Amino acid sequence: MISIETIQAGDNSPLAQLIRDVLTEFGANKPGTVFTDPTTDHLYELFQVPQAYYFVAKENDRIAGGCGIFPTEGLPDGCVELVKLYLSADYRGQGLGKKLIEHCIEKAEAEGFSELYLETLPELHTAVGLYERLGFEYLDAPYGNSGHFACDLWMRKKLKS
């Protein structure tokens, strides 16, 4: 059974490895992405700010994936960023990505956010399709100041709150 838990300090190394493995698998292991972002090795610490949450999907203590929300600098009022959705190849196609995103949407709404924003790459086409199915719409330009200059697809979703 897969559980969804809040990130712990011990998750840092296996999560960083999973993220870099997925980006390499999809040919998105390049500068300007989380592949070279130094915070990728310290996600637990990164998410210790108000209104930042990262959720890890685990099966028998093995990390299957993760996803979070982060109040990225420069976002419009009421907006939070959906960040770092990554799944191990063994767990794709089972609805886990959707479940993680829905968990993040619920948390964002509970925190009073009215909009969810994300940045991604065309290479991550599987995730892009999921975002589209979940009602994310394309934007013409980025929001905020993530520092991930290689991400050239920007999307948003209006929330219920």
Confidence bin at 161 (pLDDT 50/70/90): low
> Is the per-residue pLDDT at 145 higher than 90?
no
Confidence bin at 120 (pLDDT 50/70/90): very high
Confidence bin at 47 (pLDDT 50/70/90): very high
**Cα–Cα distance, 30 to 52 (Å, whole number):** 25
**Tell me, what CATH number does 53's domain have?**
3.40.630.30
- Kindly state the percentage of the chain with pLDDT values over 90: 84
Tokens found for residue 10? 């011990």
Model-level pTM? 0.94
Query: How many domains are there within the chain?
Result: 1
Q: Which domain holds residue 8?
A: 2-158
Extract long-range pairs of 123-127: CB within 8 Å, 24+ residues apart: 123/26, 123/27, 123/28, 124/26, 124/28, 125/26, 126/92, 127/85, 127/97
Each residue's pLDDT tens digit, 49-91: 999 999 999 999 899 999 999 999 999 999 999 999 999 999 9
Average pLDDT rounded to a whole number, residues 98-125: 95
Q: Which helix (H) or strand (E) holds 116?
A: strand 115-120
Q: Confirm if 49 and 42 have CB atoms less than 8 A apart.
A: no
Each residue's pLDDT tens digit, 11-44: 999 999 999 999 999 999 988 888 998 999 999 9
pLDDT value of position 67: 98
Q: Is the model more confident about 125 or about 50?
A: 50
pLDDT value of position 138: 97
Phi, psi (deg, nearest 5) at residue 20: -70, -35
pLDDT value of position 26: 93
pLDDT value of position 148: 74
Q: What is the mean pLDDT of the chain?
A: 94
